Structure 1
Amino acid sequence: MGASAVIVALALSPGLDVTYEVDALALGGITRPSAVTRVAGGKALNVARAAAGLGADVHALAVLGGPTGEWVAALLADDGVPATVVAGTGTTRTCLTIVEASGGATSTDLYEPATELDRASWASFARAARDRAAARPGGWFALSGSIPRGVPLDELAGLLVELRAAGARVVVDGSGAGLRATAGAADLVKVNRHEAEELVGAPLATATEAGRALRERLGVDSVVTDGVYGAAALLGGAELLAPPTRRPGRFPAGSGDAFLGGLLTALDRGDAYDAALALAVSAAERNAHVPGQGRLAPEPQT
């Protein structure tokens, strides 16, 4: 097991994530939550919180603006996640998750679009990322979540290339045009099978086949999720399989982010690949048993 470096969460699209627990959602009427949980959210900050909860050395780099951005920064501090805040000109978004008592392992999610960045905010963010890579070489940089308007995708991909040249390892977890622009600049991508099909431009029958195609086309390691079939990982030439969750919980939002937080925690400290995948699966399951994305329930007793 090697010495850990640091996991840097690149939060271009953070938000205030609010979970409402309700008996039943009254469409067209008034619903009063029985419990409310607020966390510093967006996928990248959820990854950071999960990794910090597992003992990783974490740093968040987040664009935050307005009163909501100040609230998110305060919540990050409460979670013990150190952060570099880049001032944004727009108000940080709010995202809602509604969990019904009889909803099983599902939720209703209302996500505002990522807050647009102006040119100055993007330039400040890129400069801060380069500074972090220079200060602590060798760590993981996690670009996770949607890419807001105002971020030039070619410059974002170029930034990832620069970070890798400075000794960082880069993981991308995204979708759409942002994923297509950045996947080839990463060491590792986390996608579902359908996103992998979009990246390689061909149908892929299994997650394992998807990982092989991503390695052949883009030269990247990958974790490919496939719903009820679990996930497949291709890490350092090793092919591994992860079964679907055996302990579904009431709070599934953020479980994919917790998965990535667990995976990076283990990889950063030099764990074997199978152990890293096992920690990722455990973190995802633990996330689903407690409200608040990226928060982890206590480990189950065996």
Structure 2
Amino acid sequence: MARFQHTVTLAPVPRRWFESCVVTLHDLAESIEADGARLRLPDGRRLPELLLTEGSHLRPGARYHPENDDGSGPDIDQTLTILAWDRKRETALELVTLDDELDGPGHMACTLRLTSAERPSDAKLSVKLETGGGRWTKYAEGSGRLHLDLGKWWASAAGSGRRTTAPVTAKLDHALARATVAAVPRPAGDGCWRVTVTMRVTGRSFVRLLLPLAMTVMGRRARGAFAKALDDAAKQWNDQVPELVRKDMEQLPLELVESLFGIDEEGTSPSLGT
């Protein structure tokens, strides 16, 4: 087994702001109206690049596809499905992507679950990649699960809670290796978060025998790469999050729509119009 650990300092996200943002995103989604397959904002502007192809908007079973670049219809290689939409209980979405460029048809499914929108307490993300090609394609497959206990996160970030309990845990499974990740925040003296990330990697199949040797030869370089990846991610977080947190919550939904769907100031998509 190989063990990696590194600590980074992150700009904090206020709990009240985060919870308001979750509510705002739900408000934004619920303000969008379905006009057949087309989706429209409350002021009547068309929401480009996304089509409702099955079910009722935001109801369990509703399916959405991005629109083809030429406007000819839905791109069936990508599907967003509403699994649950209940502010008091759970919001759950599934995104499935098909890719025929792999050695055989590729299938990636991502599922996000949040409990609940009114008082977020728990978030889970699962990812699964499968291929349907030959015998060696199993080495291109894998799965991952991430669990964020929001109650434990806020408590730990404030300096309370059990130090041995990680608010963030993740598991990654591959034919050749299995990794577990844990992240624990603690308060820094300037109000920031000091987040310690620990990863343990266990080899599978023939890699189980090779991993100890590889760590003996390249352990320092591997730990350096692990630390650099976290430092780079922390830099991006600290460059972007403080500005985002300072934004007016009433302006944030409009900026999200503009950034996600490319709507210009006049309310049209540069490529699709109204």
Tell me whether the two structures share a fold, i.e. TM-score over 0.5.
no
Q: Which has the higher strand share?
A: 2
TM-score, normalised to structure 1, is 0.31
TM-score, normalised to structure 2, is: 0.33
The structure having more radius of gyration, on CA atoms, is: 2
